[in-house]
């Protein structure tokens, strides 16, 4: 005990308390999203707990305690004089507005969805074998879909595809595209809507993700998308696609080298592979010192990405920050790609690589 520095101990307790509060906050924020509390506060605030509860037809006592928690944690504002609660424009962007680049509610969905995985992961730490995406249930896929939605829905077609030489013209005329690891197919839908003369196949190994994708495609009323589980219908082995896209897939697939080889095989000779993957440094030490959200991403990795990459006995387990620029260059060259370019597209979370044969 004598070695303990009291000031440091107090600081550590405070930090740990904040982490525990953040754990509770995942569940309480998801409730706020599902019950429309954040949106209601934006629409009706500044307001009292009675006014908010009434507007949303909820029980006032529960709403009041939710507001107390959300205020103490800093997501909701409280005015002392008026004794009213409100949501700031910044909180609205992050917690409510799905069309804002800062929207992060999907992170809470995914974090909460993986809490039950703790039971299985105890065993994984002993056996080495992790969990597939589907082992987490449907909410994890849903959270991931919401997290990536801004780029996939609003930036892919107008900003990213024009960086691929001739691709907008090619798809306008009519091409064939594979969106591999399509998740909820937000990216596939954005492309299929923009290029009605082209055909799209969304591949995903997760049935939960494919369920989301089927519902989203049906809602968009598109007939130029086919959704496929590659376990049931493998990607074609001959030159087929003008464009292959992967949005945050390679780092969490158990066999990244096999997938990269499959992508190489199914691309036309003059086709392109647009690969989005997590932006990170080449070493843990650099991530520790310089990555602004390394803690969040390594957390995601243990629970979701590396977990998925280790879901088979011989899985590569690259991890969320594991498919670095240098490794991407090395692995794609080994598969036969001769062109490797990092696209000049600014994104806080991801890098964008353009690969050609
Ligand atoms: C992080 S999620 C990204 C989903 C989607 N692209 C997005 O941006 O929202 C990765 C997805 O890749 C899928 N996946 C992993 N390995 C795959 C493979 N070998 N073939 C097809 N899909 C795969 C997972 O099931 C999961 O849905």
How many angstroms separate the alpha carbon of residue 110 from the centre of ligand 1?
14
Percent of the chain with pLDDT over 90: 93
In this prediction, residue 140 carries a pLDDT of 81
Q: What is the mean pLDDT of residues 279-283?
A: 97
Same domain, 186 and 53: no
In this prediction, residue 24 carries a pLDDT of 96
Same domain, 39 and 170: no
Cα 357 from Cα 336, distance rounded (Å): 7
Q: How many domains does the chain have?
A: 2
How many angstroms separate the alpha carbon of residue 152 from the centre of ligand 1?
13
How many angstroms separate the alpha carbon of residue 295 from the centre of ligand 1?
22
How many angstroms separate the alpha carbon of residue 2 from the centre of ligand 1?
51
In this prediction, residue 45 carries a pLDDT of 86
- Which range of residues forms the domain containing residue 59? 6-97
Is 132 domain-assigned?
Answer: yes
Residue 215 has pLDDT above 80, yes or no: yes
CB 356 within 8 A of CB 338: yes
Tens of pLDDT along 15-33?
999 999 999 999 999 999 9
- Give the mean pLDDT of the chain: 96
Query: What is the DSSP secondary structure assignment for residue 133, as one 8-state letter?
Result: G
Q: Which helix (H) or strand (E) holds 109?
A: helix 105-113
In this prediction, residue 292 carries a pLDDT of 94
Same domain, 122 and 157: yes
Whose C-alpha lies nearest to ligand 1, atom 27?
Answer: 183
In this prediction, residue 139 carries a pLDDT of 81
Percent of the chain with pLDDT over 70: 100
Ligand 1 contacts (CB < 6 A) are 133, 144-145, 148, 152, 180-183, 203-206, 209, 230, 247-249, 252-253, 259
Cα 178 from Cα 131, distance rounded (Å): 25
How many angstroms separate the alpha carbon of residue 47 from the centre of ligand 1?
42
How far does CA 149 lie from the centroid of its chain?
8
Same domain, 120 and 93: no
Same domain, 52 and 150: no
Same domain, 182 and 217: yes
Q: What is the mean pLDDT of residues 253-276?
A: 98
Model confidence band, residue 1 (pLDDT cutoffs 50, 70, 90): low
The burial of 33, by beta-carbon neighbours within 10 Å (0-12 exposed, 13-18 middle, 19 or more buried), is given as middle
Model confidence band, residue 286 (pLDDT cutoffs 50, 70, 90): very high
Same domain, 270 and 132: yes
Q: What is the mean pLDDT of residues 112-131?
A: 95
Whose C-alpha lies nearest to ligand 1, atom 11?
Answer: 181
Task: Kindly give the number of the ligand 1 atom that is closest to the alpha carbon of 186.
Answer: 9
Is 109 domain-assigned?
Answer: no
Same domain, 167 and 84: no
Is 107 domain-assigned?
Answer: no
The phi, psi pair for 350, rounded to 5°, reads: -125, 155
Residue 183 has pLDDT above 80, yes or no: yes
In this prediction, residue 15 carries a pLDDT of 96
Is 197 domain-assigned?
Answer: yes
Is 247 domain-assigned?
Answer: yes
Whose C-alpha lies nearest to ligand 1, atom 4?
Answer: 183
CB 350 within 8 A of CB 278: yes
CB 142 within 8 A of CB 184: yes
How many angstroms separate the alpha carbon of residue 248 from the centre of ligand 1?
7
∠ Cα 21 25 30 (to 5°): 170
Residue 73 has pLDDT above 90, yes or no: yes
Is 102 domain-assigned?
Answer: no
Tens of pLDDT along 44-68?
989 999 999 999 999 999 999 999 9
Q: What is the dihedral of CA 64, 69, 75, 76, to 10 degrees?
A: 30
Q: Which of 345, 181, 163 is nearest to 272 (CA)?
A: 163
Same domain, 191 and 307: yes
Is 62 domain-assigned?
Answer: yes
Residue 144 has pLDDT above 90, yes or no: no
Task: Kindly give the number of the ligand 1 atom that is closest to the alpha carbon of 145.
Answer: 9
Same domain, 91 and 119: no
How many angstroms separate the alpha carbon of residue 159 from the centre of ligand 1?
22
Tens of pLDDT along 223-247?
999 999 999 999 998 899 999 999 9
pTM of the model: 0.94
Task: Kindly give the number of the ligand 1 atom that is closest to the alpha carbon of 304.
Answer: 1
Whose C-alpha lies nearest to ligand 1, atom 25?
Answer: 206
CATH of the domain at 30: 1.10.10.10
Same domain, 127 and 89: no
Is 110 domain-assigned?
Answer: no
Q: What is the mean pLDDT of residues 80-102?
A: 96
Same domain, 123 and 243: yes
Residue 70 has pLDDT above 70, yes or no: yes
């Amino acid at each position: 005990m004598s070695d303990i520095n009291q000031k440091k101990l107090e600081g550590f307790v405070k930090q740990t308390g904040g982490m525990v509060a953040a754990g509770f906050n995942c569940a309480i924020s998801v409730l706020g999203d599902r019950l429309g509390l954040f949106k209601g506060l934006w629409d009706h605030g500044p307001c009292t707990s009675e006014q908010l509860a009434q507007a949303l037809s909820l029980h006032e006592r529960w709403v009041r305690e939710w507001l107390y928690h959300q205020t103490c944690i800093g997501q909701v504002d409280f005015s002392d004089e008026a004794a009213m609660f409100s949501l700031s424009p910044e909180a609205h962007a992050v917690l409510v507005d799905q069309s804002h680049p800062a929207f992060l509610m999907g992170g809470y969905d995914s974090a909460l969805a993986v809490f039950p995985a703790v039971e299985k992961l105890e065993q994984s730490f002993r056996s080495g074998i992790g969990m597939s995406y589907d082992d987490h249930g449907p909410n994890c896929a849903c959270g991931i879909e919401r997290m990536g939605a801004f780029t996939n829905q609003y930036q892919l077609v107008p900003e990213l595809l024009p960086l691929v030489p001739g691709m907008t013209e090619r798809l306008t005329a009519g091409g064939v595209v594979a969106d591999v690891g399509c998740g909820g197919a937000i990216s596939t839908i954005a492309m299929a809507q923009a290029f009605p003369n082209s055909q799209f196949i969304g591949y995903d190994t997760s049935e939960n993700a494919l369920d989301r994708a089927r519902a989203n495609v049906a809602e968009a009323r598109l007939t130029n998308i086919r959704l496929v589980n590659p376990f049931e219908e493998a990607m074609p082995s001959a030159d087929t696609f003008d464009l292959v896209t992967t949005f945050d897939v390679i780092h969490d697939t158990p066999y990244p080298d096999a997938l990269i080889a499959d992508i190489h095989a199914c691309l036309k000779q003059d086709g392109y592979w647009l690969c989005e993957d997590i932006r990170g440094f080449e070493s843990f030490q650099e991530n520790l010192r310089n990555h602004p959200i390394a803690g969040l991403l390594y957390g995601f990795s243990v629970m979701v990405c590396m977990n998925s990459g280790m879901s088979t006995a011989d899985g590569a387990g690259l991890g969320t920050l594991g498919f670095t620029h240098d490794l991407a260059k090395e692995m794609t060259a080994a598969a036969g790609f001769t062109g490797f370019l990092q696209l000049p597209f600014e994104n806080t979370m991801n890098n964008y690589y353009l690969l050609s044969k």
